[in-house]
Amino acid sequence: ETGVTQSPTHLIKTRGQQVTLRCSSQSGHNTVSWYQQALGQGPQFIFQYYREEENGRGNFPPRFSGLQFPNYSSELNVNALELDDSALYLCASSLDIFGNTIYFGEGSWLTVV
Amino acid sequence: TQLLEQSPQFLSIQEGENLTVYCNSSSVFSSLQWYRQEPGEGPVLLVTVVTGGEVKKLKRLTFQFGDARKDSSLHITAAQPGDTGLYLCAGEGGNQFYFGTGTSLTVIP
């Protein structure tokens, strides 16, 4: 158990819809990162939030957006869903941004049909 | 673009055999981590290596970080069915980790 919880665990959406995924970070952790893991691939960095501010972004379009709340929980929002967005979305929390160990949640499986 | 290449991509061995998984890059990383991921779950950290040439042992698992901090290897001695899973290496680069494509290991009883 890493103390990082994600919801929902599984969901199915239709192309063009919007989705919100949620993450509660480990207690005391102020940094949250989101990763996308397509089937058969390693996780790809989407973005990181530190103390409610975006602190870096990977190669994902603007329709991928996020939020971090004062309690350091986080949301990942994806608009205008495409079939290729089908993947496991992983949230990882860390104590802070300075290269500490990251702890992953179990992920949210998104299927876009 | 995949900064880290892992080999082999798939590996199926008999219980009791030894194996080595490789993680290679042309980039230098300040640290490198190894994870194991089981189906339907998030990656679980096995080890972090920081110093070039560093060797760490975790029971039957031996991890090595290359002298130039560009590559790493994971050696498993006397593999057990419980070792089955997806092994991922990840290099730390700034505010993100760059993951390899993974090595899917199956240990047959």
Is the separation of the CB atoms in A94 and A103 below 8 Å?
A: yes
Do B30 and A99 count as a contact with CB atoms less than 8 A apart?
yes
Nearest residue on chain B to A1, alpha-carbon basis: B44
Longest dimension (CA), chain B: 41
User: Closest to A42 (Cβ–Cβ): which among B41, B96, B101?
Assistant: B101
Q: Domain limits of chain B? A: 13-108
The pLDDT value given to residue A104? 93
> Alpha-carbon torsion B80, B85, B90, B95, what sign?
negative
Per-residue pLDDT of chain B (109 residues; tens, 9 = 90+): 568 999 999 999 999 999 999 999 998 888 899 999 998 889 999 999 999 999 999 999 999 999 999 999 999 999 999 999 999 999 987 778 899 989 999 999 9
Q: Architecture of domain B13-108 in CATH?
A: Sandwich (2.60)
